[in-house]
Amino acid sequence: MKFNIDEQSFRDLNVFSSSSNAEAIVNLFKHTKTIGGREMVQEMMRNPSSDLKFLTDRTAAISWFLKRHIVLDINSHQLDLIDHHLKHPKRHLKANLIDAIIDFLRNKITASADYYVVESGLKNFFKLSIFLKEYVQVIEETDAPTGLKEHAEKINKILSLPALKAMIAISPKKLRFWHISRLDSAFRKHLRKELTELLRLVYELDVYETLAYTIEQKSLCLPEYL
């Protein structure tokens, strides 16, 4: 459930910036590490929720990040490359070995921007998946609030999909061209929806970290709900 707020109210409350207003409320939370995180902060302010459980869970998550001084090992470049790969309009690589060899050799002879998008997206997803597995383990082993545990369960459910489990099991230094073709086929042909959701969950973590950081830096307080 969301509040309906008109544009005049947004202006009166000084929520969003304009050419003449650099001190809008949204600019307090400009320290997100990712573009997706920044967009999520703006969406939270544009469409504030009135769901008490959702608000309570979010506040508890931010409080946990604040108390533990959580710093996420993610960055905008990494997430952008993954997102660009998932949205890449060119046909996915074929999973069979013969086509994998052909695509690899073509790229060796003449560097292909399309192959670079696939390769860089997968390599950065590999790094992200390792971090997320470690993050999920921390959440499972600590006194994290219920909402964060549920959030971590969603992440773990996606990472436990067969194609992703197989990828995580590969050593980063042993990611070969046939892995790239097979994984690209799996990711963009079969798992695009799930991986897009995984990115959304990561952006949500970015928001929690940003809000916790801002609260600490600006000596703000968390809301209480009655």
- The gap between the terminal CA atoms of the chain, to the nearest Å, is 17
- DSSP state, 18? B
Q: Residue 7: pLDDT above 80? A: no
Q: Residue 60: pLDDT above 90? A: yes
Fold adopted by 1-226: MutS, DNA mismatch repair protein; Chain A, domain 3 (1.10.1420)
Q: Residue 3: pLDDT above 70? A: no
Q: Residue 92: pLDDT above 60? A: yes
3-state secondary structure of 87: coil
Those residues whose C-beta lies under 8 Å from the C-beta of residue 66, and which sit 6 or more positions away, are 212, 215, 216, 222
- DSSP state, 173? G
Cα–Cα dist 191/84, whole Å = 15
Q: What is the percent of the chain with per-residue pLDDT over 70, rounded to a whole number?
A: 90
Lowest-pLDDT range, 14-18, 153-157, 161-165? 14-18
Q: What is the pLDDT of residue 19?
A: 53
Lowest-pLDDT range, 87-96, 122-131, 151-160, 172-181? 172-181
152 within 8 A of 145, measured Cβ to Cβ: no
Q: Residue 194: pLDDT above 60? A: yes
- DSSP state, 177? H
**Positive/negative CA dihedral, 12, 18, 21, 24:** positive
Residue with tokens 């046939």: 178
pTM of the model: 0.87
Q: Which among 188, 179, 177 has a CA at the least distance from the CA of 104? A: 177
> Domains of the chain: which residue ranges?
1-226
